[in-house]
């Protein structure tokens, strides 16, 4: 399938819902110059090969990076009720999006350092009631998220130990040691507690992330009584929401971006 960056792409030919995967890789290191007049080539710098298309609501996608190996399942609820009813993941659940990540880390990482993040190039700066609504929703329902509205980029991020709805350690299905999600969040809101815990290499981890506020089909923020609906597709200028775990600027998992035809009506840029 062609790249979403290609202006020649016929949007009508794209599925209504799809995702792309952007893998960050290291340039191979070449020990010396290719010939007498060439400078030394490669120093292990990180680069991206560009996005590849992957299905949502399908099979698990294998992932393997410098930091993590495993698989990811992506669930996006369609706005079409009949189509949504055919997806078992959403049966009896209020969720609009769900991400299941399973695998092992290749090195020891502090709970404080592993983050979930979305990064966009300049977006429309919502004004008036829209801005107040977005900030209210974030502060009221997602107080652990860090929002940065800058001139060059906008980002939201949070430690994984606060943002994941479920974390299961080991093959026996044992929870992380807390009686509830709220108990885990209370504990890890303390920075010292996050710094004292680590994801250990060789141990299998299962993470589940889900939310019911933003549809990745319609790209509207909704579900809060009295607040109406806000078109995030327009505010984001057609840039998608993403799923990516990060260690500083490095990608622990590949970056998955979630597109819909409604989003692409507002632009074809990649965040």
pLDDT in tens, 160-182: 999 999 999 987 677 788 889 99
Long-range residue pairs from 187-192, CB within 8 A, at least 24 positions apart, any chain: 188/111, 188/159, 188/161, 188/162, 189/144, 189/162, 191/112
Q: What is the pLDDT averaged over residues 212-240?
A: 80
Q: What is the pLDDT averaged over residues 142-168?
A: 83
Tokens of 67: 């930091």
Q: Which of 40-44, 52-56, 224-228 has the lowest mean pLDDT?
A: 40-44
Of residues 219 and 38, which shows the higher confidence score? 219
Indicate if the pLDDT at residue 128 is higher than 70. no
- Cα angle value 108/112/116 (rounded, 5°): 95
- Cα angle value 131/133/134 (rounded, 5°): 65
Query: For position 136, what pLDDT does the model report?
Result: 58
Q: What is the pLDDT averaged over residues 27-45?
A: 43
Indicate if the pLDDT at residue 254 is higher than 50. yes
Of residues 258 and 38, which shows the higher confidence score? 258
pTM: 0.82
């Amino acid at each position: 399938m062609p790249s979403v960056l290609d202006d020649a792409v016929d949007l009508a030919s794209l599925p209504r819902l799809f995702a792309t995967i952007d893998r960050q890789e290291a340039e191979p290191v070449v020990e010396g110059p290719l010939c007498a007049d060439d400078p030394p080539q490669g120093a292990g710098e990180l680069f991206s090969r560009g996005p590849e298309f992957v299905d949502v609501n399908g099979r698990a996608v294998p992932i393997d990076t410098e930091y993590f190996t495993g698989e990811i399942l992506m669930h996006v609820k369609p706005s079409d009720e009949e189509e949504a009813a055919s997806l078992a993941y959403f049966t009896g659940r209020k969720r609009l999006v769900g991400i299941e990540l399973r695998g092992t880390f290749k090195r020891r990482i502090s709970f404080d350092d592993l983050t979930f993040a979305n990064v966009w190039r300049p977006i429309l700066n919502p004004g008036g009631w829209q801005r107040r609504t977005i900030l209210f929703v974030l502060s009221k329902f997602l107080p652990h998220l860090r929002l940065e509205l800058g001139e060059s980029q906008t980002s939201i991020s949070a430690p994984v130990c606060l943002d994941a709805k479920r974390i299961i350690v080991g093959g026996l299905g044992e929870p992380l040691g807390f009686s509830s999600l709220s108990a885990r969040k209370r504990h890890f809101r303390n920075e010292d507690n996050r710094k004292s815990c680590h994801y250990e290499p060789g141990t299998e981890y299962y993470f589940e992330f889900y939310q019911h506020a933003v549809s990745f089909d319609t790209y509207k923020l909704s579900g809060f009584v009295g607040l109406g609906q806000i078109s995030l597709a327009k505010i984001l200028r057609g840039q998608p929401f993403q799923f990516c775990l990060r260690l500083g600027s490095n990608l622990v998992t590949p970056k998955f971006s979630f597109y819909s035809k409604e989003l692409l009506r507002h632009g074809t840029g990649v965040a």
